[in-house]
Structure 1
């Protein structure tokens, strides 16, 4: 297959993957699993480092609990809940875990819910709020300081191109 055809296939696959990703990231009840996981990663890393743990890495995933939305009878409102699971390591190779539920997320600033962090199987914090919910929203044009853990989320897209020999 000529190089230009492989590139076209790769571009098409990438566009298709991006379309699927965008559809999968639609917020449910105002929260999306992507923003919850990125914000939790950032604020949990910051809290752990503030508490004296040197974080080598922390990776968070979040799942919006479709069936776990709860209705508050007095307010008549529905609350969306995300289950968060973060795993990582300290600089001295100790295991880090941050797990729990998030009921509110404010992009790059804070998460509210019920989160517990452990380092080497020892609970180091239990929090209902992580981050500064009163901080102003981030502006899209403000560059983040380089080298700060959790400051730049990484998005990985895998494109598979399959070639077959057609012979003459």
Structure 2
């Protein structure tokens, strides 16, 4: 991950709302763990870009009660190395420190269904929020790939 993208993710953690959902961090995490899940399922991901909006369709509603579960609608689009369309869409109810998202998500490559999952990523792993760039492997050149993440933040009216 580039230093800029890592700093953006680290900065987003400081703005995390009290109810635990942040549309920007959900979009970034879904992009990262979704790309990994697609690749594990044999999809040659050229690029993937995700957007997330919390409580879409509830813009005119009053603030959710303490017992109401907030939901982020996630919409990811991309291309394979062979030029096929990729989609990853669904609802996210929890994002854990850049490690995983929980909800109801499904992915397609062209017309082929790749997976449907309620968890993407490793929720049991230690948090990666503070790690911008891990050290290079021993004996390696130190070169790291650059990852560019596009994040579109859309949040519904909270009634305040």
Same fold (TM over 0.5): yes
Q: Higher helix fraction: Structure 1 or Structure 2? A: 1
- 1:153 aligns to 2:149 (yes or no): yes
Structure 2 segments unaligned to the other structure (5+ residues): 1-11, 137-143, 153-160
TM-score, normalised via structure 2 length = 0.69
Secondary structure at 1:30 match in 2: coil
The TM-score, its normalising length taken from structure 1, stands at: 0.66
Pairing partner for 1:44 from 25, 34, 43: 34
**1:89 equivalent in structure 2:** 79
Contact 2:91 2:103 in 1 (8 A): yes
1:2-151 correspondence to structure 2 within 5 Å: 27=17, 29-65=19-55, 67=58, 77-144=67-134, 146-147=144-145
Any gaps of 5 or more consecutive residues in structure 1? Answer: 1-21, 157-168
Residues 31 and 132 (structure 1), Cα distance of their counterparts in 2 relative to 1, 3 Å cut: same
Structure whose alpha-carbon radius of gyration is higher? 1
Q: Is contact 1:114–1:128 with CA below 8 Å preserved after alignment?
A: yes
Bigger relative contact order, structure 1 or 2 (CA pairs below 8 A, ≥6 apart): 2
Report the count of equivalent residues.
127
Residues 125-144 of structure 1: per-residue CA shift (max 9 Å, x gap): 00000000000011524515
CA-based RMSD: 2.8
Q: What stretches of structure 1 move > 6 A for 4+ residues in a row?
A: 68-71
